[in-house]
C-alpha cells in the first residue's frame, strides 16, 4: 500500500444545475470499483458498507459476479455480534473476499451491511461510534466506506474521520456520443453527449479532480466483466485509485 494511511469515504451526489436530479452512480458501486482499483495496485482493501438505507450492496455484488454473499454469514451483523475491536484480523474473519477483477497481490474484503433498512441504520450508527478505530485501521488496510443514499446522521462522524473524501458528481458530457448516436450525428441528427461522472476528492481544505468517468453499467462497477467501451471508465477509476493510495492530493 502507499505511504499514506487511507480511510476514505465515497459519496455520490446529484447536480440539479447540470440537469441531473439524481446521482448517475450509486456510492456503493463506485466504492467497489475504487476498491478493485486499489487491489490491482497491490493494496489490501477493507470495504466497510456504511449503508443506512438498505441498498443491499452485498446482494448486488453477488448478482453481478454470480457468487454468493450473505451479510448474515459474514459482514457487519457478525462483526457487531462478536463484540471485538476493528483490527485487521477481525476484519478478515468477518468479511467476504471479493473475486479480483484482475490478477494482483491485493484483495478487497467486504463487510456488508444488513439488507433491511432497520438493521442497516443500526450498523451505520455502530460504525459511526467507532470512527476512531476505522481511522486507525487505515494504517493497516486501505479502508473504503461508501455513504449511499441521502445524508444521514451517522455519516457526519465517518466523514470527519476520513483522511480523504471522494465525491462523484453528475456532469454533462462534452465528447460526441458514441455508437449509433454518433452515426446519427454524422447525418445531422444531433443527440446530446453521454453524461459523465466527475470524480473528485477532498483532504482537509484542499480539493482535486481525479478524473471524469464515462458510461459504465453498475454491474461492471460491481465486478462484472466489462464491455470494450466500459474498460475506459474502469481505467480512469484505476488511475484515481492509484493516486488515492499514493496520498490523495499529492
pLDDT 10s digits, 116-144: 999 999 999 999 999 999 999 999 999 99
Q: In 3-state terms, what secondary structure has residue 40?
A: helix
Give the pLDDT score at 146: 95
Distance CA(15)–CA(19), nearest Å, equals 7
pTM equals: 0.89
Give the pLDDT score at 47: 97
Is 166 exposed, middle or buried, given 0-12, 13-18 or 19+ CB atoms closer than 10 A? buried
Give the pLDDT score at 18: 72
pLDDT tens for each residue of 74-114: 999 999 999 999 999 999 999 999 999 888 889 999 999 99
Distance CA(14)–CA(204), nearest Å, equals 22
Check whether domain 7-14+25-166+217-245 has CATH 3.40.50, yes or no? yes
> What confidence tier does 189 reach under pLDDT thresholds 50, 70, 90?
low
Give the pLDDT score at 4: 55
> What confidence tier does 22 reach under pLDDT thresholds 50, 70, 90?
confident
Distance CA(18)–CA(133), nearest Å, equals 38
Amino acid at each position: 500500500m502507499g505511504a499514506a494511511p487511507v480511510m476514505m469515504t465515497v459519496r455520490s451526489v446529484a447536480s440539479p444545475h447540470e440537469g441531473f436530479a439524481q446521482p448517475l452512480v450509486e456510492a456503493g458501486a463506485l466504492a467497489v470499483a475504487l476498491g478493485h482499483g486499489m487491489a490491482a495496485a497491490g493494496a489490501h482493501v477493507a470495504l466497510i458498507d456504511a449503508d443506512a438505507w438498505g441498498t443491499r450492496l452485498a446482494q448486488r455484488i453477488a448478482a453481478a459476479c454470480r457468487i454468493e454473499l450473505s451479510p448474515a454469514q459474514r459482514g457487519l451483523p457478525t462483526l457487531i455480534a462478536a463484540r471485538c475491536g476493528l483490527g485487521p484480523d477481525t476484519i478478515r474473519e468477518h468479511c467476504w473476499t471479493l473475486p479480483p477483477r484482475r490478477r494482483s497481490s491485493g484483495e478487497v474484503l467486504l463487510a456488508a451491511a444488513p439488507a433491511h433498512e432497520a438493521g442497516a441504520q443500526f450498523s451505520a450508527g455502530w460504525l459511526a461510534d467507532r470512527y476512531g478505530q476505522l481511522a486507525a485501521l487505515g494504517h493497516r488496510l486501505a479502508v473504503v466506506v461508501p455513504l449511499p443514499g441521502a445524508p444521514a446522521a451517522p455519516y457526519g462522524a465517518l466523514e470527519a474521520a476520513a483522511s480523504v473524501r471522494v465525491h462523484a458528481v453528475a456532469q454533462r458530457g462534452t465528447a460526441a456520443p458514441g455508437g449509433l448516436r454518433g452515426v446519427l450525428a454524422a447525418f445531422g441528427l444531433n443527440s446530446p453527449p453521454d453524461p459523465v461522472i466527475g470524480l473528485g476528492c477532498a483532504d482537509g481544505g484542499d480539493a482535486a479532480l481525479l478524473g471524469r468517468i464515462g458510461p459504465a453499467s453498475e454491474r461492471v462497477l460491481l465486478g462484472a466483466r466489462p464491455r470494450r467501451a466500459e474498460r475506459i471508465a474502469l481505467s480512469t477509476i484505476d488511475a484515481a485509485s492509484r493516486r488515492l493510495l499514493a496520498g490523495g492530493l499529492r
